[in-house]
């Protein structure tokens, strides 16, 4: 369906749209980037040049390749300019109504065969597609930030998406050098669903006073092998993004207590303490500020790791149980999308289901909260002495 000559349109020239455009142009496509904000287009063009210049300086690309990528991308300020595209990837503001309006305008301009994709992190592809008269050509193509660096792309067919659209999009994005996984159109898809306990269980441990933030971060890095601790990662992502994703997943899951956001994080958002970008979040990033020291107690560290890791495994198991994705794609998504040291289902097999079920049963028994309910798939594996692989 797609070839190197396929023209790719990108709507939105912000953080994601400009990254996606660069990826597609590097893969030799002609790319047309549209934004309704002229300043954003100017900024995106400047950023693209700076980013490519850095790659030339690091000898990752040649000056010739740099020139080709630049000449492959054009920046436009009318939607009509996308008429000749074969694929359009929308990366505008995360607002269902606005996205629906853009999709319904777009489908009237492009050819019958053009595929319309959304890079949404949390909205339903099916509901975006419902704004179109041909929802069978609408799909989710979800890149991770920064799109030029993160290898993972989730491909999300909506309920009406034709199978050949899904396979063609997967083949195309893989040909761009990305690792693709297929996810069912459910809140948070794979990564933004399975990763929730990394933040929420860490927040809960902190709220209960079991350990401070620095100790929790230390345990998850030093003992479990994660690249960043939950609190430093939330601060890096920004609470305006991370909290909002949690709240959106929780709301869309009909307020399932498993996904309930933490008040501690909400207060930070209310205060405007957004994390690194605002200079203050869980930690203080002022140049003269001293970061708190962790209490390096290995026993406490191990119990923190067990609780957070087993809740992550529980969510990965439930994601598999509910057929959101295959076990391979769930593991691939977490290692390639958010740099987890291991796939969670593989990790579960290494640790043994008995230990995980025992620990989760203890949490459920103690707190008597539905938040700690065990995935039926973990229970099945426990009873039948089965592994995920
Ligand atoms: N930032 C992330 O970490 C991340 C990761 C994955 C997916 N996403 C998703 O990607 C999308 C874009 O996110 P972002 O971080 O790049 O946002 P951004 O705010 O950096 O950029 C959005 C751009 O869209 C433009 N825009 C808004 N409304 C428009 C309209 N009606 N028509 C044309 N242009 C319009 C804005 O001018 C802006 O340039 C969102 O759906 C978001 O959920 C974001």
- Name which residue sits closest to atom 37 of ligand 1, judged by CA: 37
> Does the annotation count 207 as an active-site position?
no
In a domain? residue 43: yes
> Does the annotation count 95 as an active-site position?
no
**99, 123 contact by CB (below 8 A):** yes
In a domain? residue 132: yes
- Name which residue sits closest to atom 15 of ligand 1, judged by CA: 15
* Residue of 13, 72, 107, 154 marked catalytic: 154
List strands edge to edge, sheet with 179-182.
73-76, 31-34, 8-11, 87-90, 115-118, 138-143, 152-157, 179-182
**120, 99 contact by CB (below 8 A):** yes
pLDDT of residue 35: 98
277 with 231, same domain: the answer is yes
214 with 148, same domain: the answer is no
Q: Whose structure tokens read 């920046």? A: 75
In a domain? residue 3: no
> Does the annotation count 29 as an active-site position?
no
171 with 288, same domain: the answer is no
61 with 120, same domain: the answer is yes
CATH number at residue 152: 3.40.50.720
206 with 170, same domain: the answer is no
CA distances from 34 to 7, 42, 61, 67, 102 (A): 13, 11, 26, 21, 12
15 lines ligand 1 (CB under 6 A): yes
124 lines ligand 1 (CB under 6 A): no
61 lines ligand 1 (CB under 6 A): no
Closest CA to 33 of 5, 6, 13, 7: 13
In a domain? residue 311: yes
| Domains: count for the chain | 2
93 lines ligand 1 (CB under 6 A): yes
Q: Tell me, in angstroms, the distance from the centre of ligand 1 to residue 295's CA.
A: 40
Domain boundary among 182, 205, 226: 182
CATH number at residue 377: 1.10.1040.50
Domain boundary among 182, 202, 218: 182
331 with 373, same domain: the answer is yes
For CA atoms 47, 81, 144, 279, give the dihedral sign.
positive
344 with 310, same domain: the answer is yes
pLDDT of residue 122: 85
254 with 162, same domain: the answer is no
Buried b (16+ CB within 10 A) or exposed e, 75-109: beeebebbbebbbbbbbbebeeeebbebbeebbeb
In a domain? residue 327: yes
pLDDT of residue 1: 86
- Name which residue sits closest to atom 29 of ligand 1, judged by CA: 92
CA distances from 259 to 34, 88, 218, 362 (A): 35, 32, 24, 19
37 lines ligand 1 (CB under 6 A): yes
Q: Tell me, in angstroms, the distance from the centre of ligand 1 to residue 18's CA.
A: 10
pLDDT of residue 93: 92
* Residue of 122, 124, 192, 375 marked catalytic: 192
154 lines ligand 1 (CB under 6 A): no
Ligand 1: nearest atom to the Cα of 17: 16
* DSSP-derived secondary structure for 151-217: -EEEEEE-TT--HHHHHHHHHHHHHTT-EEEE--SSTTTTHHHHTHHHHHHHHHHHHTTSS-HHHHH
Q: Tell me, in angstroms, the distance from the centre of ligand 1 to residue 120's CA.
A: 8
Closest CA to 318 of 343, 355, 354, 345: 345
* Residue of 18, 119, 121, 381 marked catalytic: 121
- Per-residue pLDDT for the chain (389 aa), expressed as one digit of tens each? 899 999 999 999 999 999 999 999 999 999 999 999 999 999 999 999 999 999 999 999 999 999 999 999 999 999 999 999 999 999 999 899 999 999 999 999 999 999 999 999 989 999 999 999 999 999 999 999 899 999 999 999 999 999 999 999 999 999 999 999 999 999 999 999 999 999 999 999 999 999 999 999 999 999 999 999 999 999 999 999 899 999 999 999 999 999 999 999 999 999 999 999 999 999 999 999 999 999 999 999 999 999 999 999 999 999 999 999 999 999 999 999 999 999 999 999 999 999 999 999 999 999 999 999 999 999 999 999 999 99
Q: Which of 40, 47, 93 to mutate to test the pocket of ligand 1 (most atoms within 8 A of CB)?
A: 93
**Residue 102: which domain range?**
8-182
In a domain? residue 388: no
Q: Tell me, in angstroms, the distance from the centre of ligand 1 to residue 79's CA.
A: 16
Q: Whose structure tokens read 């933040």? A: 199
Beta bridge partners of 118: 90, 140
46 with 160, same domain: the answer is yes
131 lines ligand 1 (CB under 6 A): no
> Does the annotation count 154 as an active-site position?
yes
In a domain? residue 96: yes
Count of all residues that appear for the chain in the document: 389
Q: Tell me, in angstroms, the distance from the centre of ligand 1 to residue 169's CA.
A: 21
In a domain? residue 2: no
73 with 167, same domain: the answer is yes
35 lines ligand 1 (CB under 6 A): yes
For CA atoms 327, 331, 334, 337, give the dihedral sign.
negative
CA 253 – CA 258 distance, rounded (Å): 9
> What global pTM score does this model have?
0.95
CA distances from 206 to 226, 246, 304 (A): 18, 17, 10
119 with 211, same domain: the answer is no
331 with 198, same domain: the answer is yes
Domain boundary among 138, 153, 182: 182
CA 64 – CA 187 distance, rounded (Å): 42
CA 335 – CA 329 distance, rounded (Å): 10
């Amino acid at each position: 369906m797609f070839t190197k000559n396929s023209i790719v349109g990108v709507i939105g020239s912000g953080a994601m749209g400009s990254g996606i455009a660069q990826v597609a142009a590097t893969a030799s496509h002609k790319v047309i980037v549209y934004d309704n904000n002229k300043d954003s287009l100017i900024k995106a063009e400047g950023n693209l040049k700076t980013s490519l210049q850095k790659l030339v300086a690091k000898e990752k690309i040649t000056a010739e390749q740099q020139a080709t990528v630049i000449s492959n991308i054009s920046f436009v300020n009318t939607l009509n300019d996308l008429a000749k595209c074969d694929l359009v990837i929308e990366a505008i503001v995360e607002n269902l109504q606005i996205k629906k309006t853009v999709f319904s305008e777009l489908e009237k301009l492009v050819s019958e065969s053009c595929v319309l994709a959304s890079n949404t992190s949390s909205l339903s592809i099916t509901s975006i597609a419902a704004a179109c008269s041909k929802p069978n050509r609408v799909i989710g193509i979800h890149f991770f930030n920064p799109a030029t660096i993160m290898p993972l792309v989730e491909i999300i067919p909506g309920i009406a998406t034709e199978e050949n659209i899904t396979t063609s999009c997967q083949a195309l994005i893989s040909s761009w050098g990305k690792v693709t996984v297929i996810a069912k159109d459910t809140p948070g898809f794979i990564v933004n669903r399975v990763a929730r306990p990394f933040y929420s269980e860490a927040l809960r441990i902190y709220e209960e006073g079991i350990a401070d933030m620095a100790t929790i971060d230390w345990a998850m890095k030093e003992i479990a092998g994660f690249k960043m601790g939950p609190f430093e990662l939330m601060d890096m992502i920004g609470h305006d993004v991370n909290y909002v994703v949690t709240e959106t997943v929780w709301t869309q899951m009909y307020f399932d207590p498993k996904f309930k956001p933490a008040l501690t994080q909400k207060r930070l958002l209310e205060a405007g303490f957004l994390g690194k970008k605002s200079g203050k979040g869980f930690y203080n990033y002022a140049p003269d500020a001293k970061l708190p020291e962790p209490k390096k107690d290995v026993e406490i560290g191990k119990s923190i790791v067990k609780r957070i890791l087993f809740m992550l495994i529980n969510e990965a198991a439930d994601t598999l149980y509910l057929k959101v994705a295959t076990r391979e794609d769930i593991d691939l998504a977490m290692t390639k999308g958010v740099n987890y040291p291991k796939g969670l289902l593989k990790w579960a097999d290494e640790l043994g289901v008995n230990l995980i079920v025992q620990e989760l049963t203890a949490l459920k028994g103690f707190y008597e909260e539905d938040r700690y309910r065990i995935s039926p798939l973990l229970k099945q594996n426990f009873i039948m002495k089965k592994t995920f692989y």
